[in-house]
């Protein structure tokens, strides 16, 4: 448990509600993510993968166990801006330009105007959107909005990226394109990534390790090493037998985890911890 | 000018001219008695003859409406902020606002006019403010609850202070709603200020002059003041509509695809 680990999750439980409505979202989950490592969390609805990500981000607190991010408690890591985050919704502010959206975290943290603008330009170049600085989010496609959200997540130069199904709402072709972009961005920034996904090929393509989870209660079922390096992850890899083999391994591990019929899932769907409106 | 713009401006203009011409013809031909409906020409004549009084009275009524609009808006927004911050204030305010929403101007005007004395405009301004307060409060409170969970999560991720969350997320999301409330309230402000003049207090406003002219059988002059009141109400509405448009980001305007998902 030293600073060379990006994330250490130690026997964490997360319980929502009480009495009859009590849902065990996570049950004794332990996981270590090394610096620079790409780890995917995959599993059926209700397996607690998004809950686990929210705990890492300190958007929610574990019911038991500890979470350490770069050797600090998750809360301190959040306050120190040690991670960047991207959600399934891009979460761009519609009244701000693309550049102003990327600058938002820097602005909140009191970075000067010129430095902010420079950094935003740099980041938007990184995600290939330098020509869209002064556009508004609604003028961009869904895939472009997600690229802006990734640029924003990188604004504070985090060594850890938390991503909650960032490509979940995109079509397959945009999705594959952005996966390629993410591989390149991770290689350039050297950041560790914890990536929540529903997609087996996505997990197999992107990850150094795939964490397979099972629901009710949310547990880690298996951890698979893909054995790919970022140099392997070119467009050709998707047609390579080694990639198909990795996909098959993830699918089989998931099949073992997912023995219950999905129809039962509706009643126990993953709890949304942010349902409480602002009072 | 584009075809659409021509249609939007020209069509109602043509319709207006046709209606005015028909009205003029009917009254000139003697089909309608003058005291029932004065001709547009007669009304226009009165408007020119009494132009200084027309402008002066519109300024008095407009001034009352404007003061009421500003005061009601300020109080409405402040109370909406308090209600959005505290559940207790919200629960306390709800029945009060529901009660205020149904207070009839005709009932309140004589009371306030008597309270503040015969030479004070304060009663009318208070009535306008009261009428303005309700829609501004209701819309502002709704607006202050528009911030999306993903944006609140982001602010927490950035370790933003409550004041920063207010500035970067809550207020911008509320802004279009606040201005919609002001736009709705603007017409109410003019109508309330004008109607309140029928129930005592100093003369000289549009409402007072309409009733005086009608009482002395100067129907064309009464209509001239009515036209002036319409112009005043339209001015309030157009200015606040323009403000609403400016305050609403393109992506959240109705009729356009948008959003960030």
**pLDDT per residue as tens digits for the range A261-277:** 444 444 444 444 444 44
* Residue percentage of chain A with pLDDT more than 90: 24
Helix (H) or strand (E) holding A223, with range, is strand A219-225
Mean pLDDT of A178-187: 87
Domain containing A151: what range? Answer: 91-156
Please tell me the least confidently modeled range out of A90-94, A198-202, B7-11: B7-11
Domain presence at residue B32:
no
User: A78 and A166 share a domain?
Assistant: yes
User: A116 and A215 share a domain?
Assistant: no
Domain presence at residue B25:
no
What is the count of structural domains for chain A?
A: 2
Give the nearest partner residue to B249 out of A81, A94, A107, using CB atoms.
Answer: A94
pLDDT tens sequence across B41-96: 888 988 888 888 889 999 999 999 999 999 999 999 999 999 998 889 988 888 88
Interface probe, candidates B167, B176, B260, B261, chain A, greatest A C-beta count within 10 A: B260
CA A11-A12-A17 angle, to 5 degrees, is 145
Residue A225, beta-bridge partner list? A209
Helix (H) or strand (E) holding A224, with range, is strand A219-225
Which residue numbers of A have CB closer than 8 Å to B's CBs? 57-59, 78-79, 81, 85, 87, 89-95, 104-105, 107-109, 136-138, 142, 145, 169, 274-275, 277-279
The answer to whether the pTM exceeds 0.90 is no
User: A121 and A222 share a domain?
Assistant: no
Predicted pLDDT at A127 = 82
CA distance B140 to chain A (A): 14
Closest CA to A163 of A57, A274, A48, A24: A57
Give the nearest partner residue to B172 out of A95, A108, A278, using CB atoms.
Answer: A95
User: Contact A85/B154, CB-based, under 8 Å?
Assistant: yes
User: A133 and A194 share a domain?
Assistant: no
Residue A29, beta-bridge partner list? A12
Mean pLDDT of A43-68: 89
Q: Rounded to an integer, what distance in angstroms lies between the CA atom of residue B152 and that of residue B146?
A: 11
Mean pLDDT of A242-263: 74
User: A235 and A169 share a domain?
Assistant: yes
Domain presence at residue B72:
yes
Domain presence at residue B30:
no
Cβ proximity of B91 and B98 under 8 Å: no
User: Contact B153/A169, CB-based, under 8 Å?
Assistant: no
User: Contact B153/A274, CB-based, under 8 Å?
Assistant: yes
User: A226 and A141 share a domain?
Assistant: no
User: A222 and A197 share a domain?
Assistant: yes
Contacts of B244 (CB under 8 A, 6+ apart): B176, B179, B180, B182, B183
* Longest alpha-carbon distance in chain B: 77
User: A208 and A138 share a domain?
Assistant: no
Domain presence at residue A110:
yes
Which residue in chain B is spatially nearest to A148 when comparing CA positions? Answer: B260
99-138 in chain B: CB under 8 A from chain A = none
Closest CA to B131 of B203, B53, B190: B190
Predicted pLDDT at A271 = 46
- Which CATH number fits the domain that encloses residue A75? 3.40.50.300
Q: Rounded to an integer, what distance in angstroms lies between the CA atom of residue B244 and that of residue B259?
A: 19
CA A257-A259-A260 angle, to 5 degrees, is 120
What is the count of structural domains for chain B?
A: 1
User: A189 and A224 share a domain?
Assistant: yes
Which residue in chain A is spatially nearest to B91 when comparing CA positions? Answer: A279
Domain presence at residue A274:
no
User: Contact B251/A138, CB-based, under 8 Å?
Assistant: yes
Cβ proximity of B89 and B260 under 8 Å: no
* Residue percentage of chain A with pLDDT more than 70: 90
CA A255-A261-A262 angle, to 5 degrees, is 90
Contacts of A50 (CB under 8 A, 6+ apart): A164, A165, A196, A270
Burial class (CB in 10 A: 0-12, 13-18, 19+), B161: exposed
User: pLDDT at residue A60 above 70?
Assistant: yes
Domain presence at residue B33:
no
Residue A85, beta-bridge partner list? A162
Predicted pLDDT at B51 = 86
Mean pLDDT of A244-257: 82
Alpha helices in A57-208 (DSSP H): 74-79, 98-108, 113-126, 142-153, 172-189, 200-206
Cβ proximity of A12 and A30 under 8 Å: yes
Q: Which residues of A touch B155 (CB under 8 A)?
A: 108
Closest CA to B228 of B84, B44, B24, B31: B44
Domain containing B64: what range? Answer: 39-250
The mean predicted confidence, pLDDT, of chain A is: 84
User: Contact B170/A278, CB-based, under 8 Å?
Assistant: yes
ipTM, two decimals:
0.81
46-85 in chain B: CB under 8 A from chain A = 84-85
User: A226 and A112 share a domain?
Assistant: no
Mean pLDDT split into 10-residue runs, chain B, 261 residues: 76 90 85 79 88 90 94 95 90 88 81 80 89 94 91 91 91 92 94 87 84 86 91 93 82 44 36
User: A186 and A235 share a domain?
Assistant: yes
Domain presence at residue B19:
no
Dihedrals phi, psi of A24, to nearest 5 degrees: -90, 105
Predicted pLDDT at A240 = 82
Predicted pLDDT at B4 = 76
- Which CATH number fits the domain that encloses residue B134? 1.10.3720.10
Q: Which residues of A touch B153 (CB under 8 A)?
A: 59, 87, 91, 274
């Amino acid at each position: 448990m030293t600073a060379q680990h990006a994330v250490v999750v130690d026997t964490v439980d997360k319980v929502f509600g009480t009495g009859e409505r009590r849902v065990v979202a996570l049950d004794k989950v332990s996981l270590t993510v090394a610096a620079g490592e790409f780890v995917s969390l995959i599993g059926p609805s209700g397996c607690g993968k998004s809950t686990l990500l929210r705990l890492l981000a300190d958007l929610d607190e574990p019911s038991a166990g500890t979470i350490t991010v770069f050797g600090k408690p998750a809360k301190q890591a959040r306050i120190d801006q040690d991670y960047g985050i991207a959600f399934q919704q891009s979460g761009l502010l519609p009244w701000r330009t693309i550049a102003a959206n990327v600058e938002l975290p820097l602005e909140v943290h009191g970075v000067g105007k010129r430095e902010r603008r420079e950094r935003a330009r740099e980041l938007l170049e990184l995600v290939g959107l330098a020509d869209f600085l002064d556009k508004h989010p609604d003028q961009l496609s869904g895939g472009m909005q997600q690229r802006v959200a990734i640029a924003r997540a990188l604004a504070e130069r985090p060594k850890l990226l938390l991503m909650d199904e960032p490509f979940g709402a995109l079509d397959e072709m945009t999705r594959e394109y952005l996966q390629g972009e993410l591989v390149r961005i991770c290689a350039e920034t050297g950041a560790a990534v914890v990536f929540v996904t529903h997609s087996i090929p996505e997990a197999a393509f992107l990850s150094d390790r795939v964490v397979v989870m099972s629901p009710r209660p949310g547990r880690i079922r298996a951890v698979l090493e893909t054995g790919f390096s970022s140099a392997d992850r070119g467009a050709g890899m998707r047609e390579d037998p080694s990639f198909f083999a990795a996909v098959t391994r993830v699918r089989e591990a998931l099949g073992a985890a997912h023995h219950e019929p999905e129809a039962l899932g509706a009643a126990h769907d993953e709890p949304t911890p942010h349902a409480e409106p602002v009072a | 000018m584009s075809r659409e713009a021509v249609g939007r401006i020209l069509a109602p203009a043509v319709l207006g001219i046709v209606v005015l011409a028909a009205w003029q013809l009917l009254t000139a031909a003697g089909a309608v008695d003058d005291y029932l409906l004065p001709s547009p020409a007669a009304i226009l004549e009165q408007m020119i003859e009494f132009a200084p009084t027309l402008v002066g009275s519109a300024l008095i009524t407009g001034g009352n409406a404007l003061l009421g609009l500003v005061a009601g808006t300020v109080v409405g927004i402040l109370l909406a902020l308090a209600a959005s911050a505290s559940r207790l204030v919200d629960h306390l305010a709800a029945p009060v606002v529901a009660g205020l929403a149904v207070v009839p101007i005709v009932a309140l005007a004589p009371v306030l006019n008597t309270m503040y004395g015969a030479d004070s405009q304060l009663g009318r301004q208070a009535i306008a403010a009261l009428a303005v307060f309700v829609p501004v409060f209701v819309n502002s409170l709704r607006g202050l609850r528009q911030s999306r969970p993903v944006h609140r999560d982001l602010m927490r991720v950035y370790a933003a202070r409550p004041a920063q969350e207010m500035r970067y997320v809550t207020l911008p999301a509320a802004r279009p709603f606040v201005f919609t409330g002001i736009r709705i309230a603007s017409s109410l402000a003019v109508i309330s200020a004008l109607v309140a003049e029928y129930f005592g207090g100093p003369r000289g406003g549009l409402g007072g002059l309409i009733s005086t002219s009608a009482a002395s059988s100067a129907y064309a002059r009464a209509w001239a003041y009515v036209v002036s009141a319409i112009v005043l109400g339209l001015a309030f509405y157009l200015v606040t509509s323009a403000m609403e448009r400016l305050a609403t980001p393109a992506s959240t305007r109705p009729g356009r695809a948008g959003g960030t998902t």
